């Protein structure tokens, strides 16, 4: 290989590797310790919109965070993983133990 070939290969490699550092990549890993999903490590990625049956990471309201932390259930900084069952505009009802979404039985509480 000629000197020009080495310089070109080196410069191309540096630009490719350096260029990747300019692209914003924010991998987010969450350890699930609750029974809402199997225990383990989950990689989060933004999808832009929610879909039914999708797993979502949520930060609970402060009173619930305090309750979980004070009870020794979870640390204050932990996100909760929850399945999305209903979307905006859908009707969720509970009659006794039966939970329905838009009039369809989906489970028991």
- 30: how many CB neighbours lie within 10 A of its CB? 15
Q: Sort strands 80-83 and 55-58 into parallel, antiparallel or unpaired.
A: antiparallel
The widest CA-to-CA distance across the chain, in whole angstroms, is 80
- Measure the CA–CA gap between 102 and 10, rounded to whole angstroms: 61
Q: What are phi and psi of 58, to 5 degrees?
A: -130, 150
pTM of this structure: 0.61
Strand partners, 104: 101
Q: List the chain pLDDT tens, one digit each, 109 residues.
A: 788 888 888 888 878 787 777 776 666 888 888 888 898 999 988 888 888 889 998 888 999 999 999 998 888 888 889 889 999 999 999 999 999 999 999 999 8
Domain ranges of the chain: 25-108
């Amino acid at each position: 290989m000629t000197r020009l070939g080495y310089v070109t290969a080196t410069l191309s490699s540096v630009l490719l590797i350096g260029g990747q550092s300019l692209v914003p990549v924010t991998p987010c890993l969450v350890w699930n310790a609750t029974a809402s999903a199997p225990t383990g490590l989950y990689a989060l990625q933004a999808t832009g919109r929610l879909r039914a049956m999708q797993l979502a990471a949520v930060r609970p309201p402060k009173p619930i965070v305090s309750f979980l932390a004070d009870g020794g259930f979870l640390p204050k900084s932990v996100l909760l993983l929850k399945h999305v069952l209903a979307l905006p505009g859908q009707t969720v009802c509970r009659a006794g133990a039966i939970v329905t979404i838009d009039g369809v039985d989906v489970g028991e509480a």
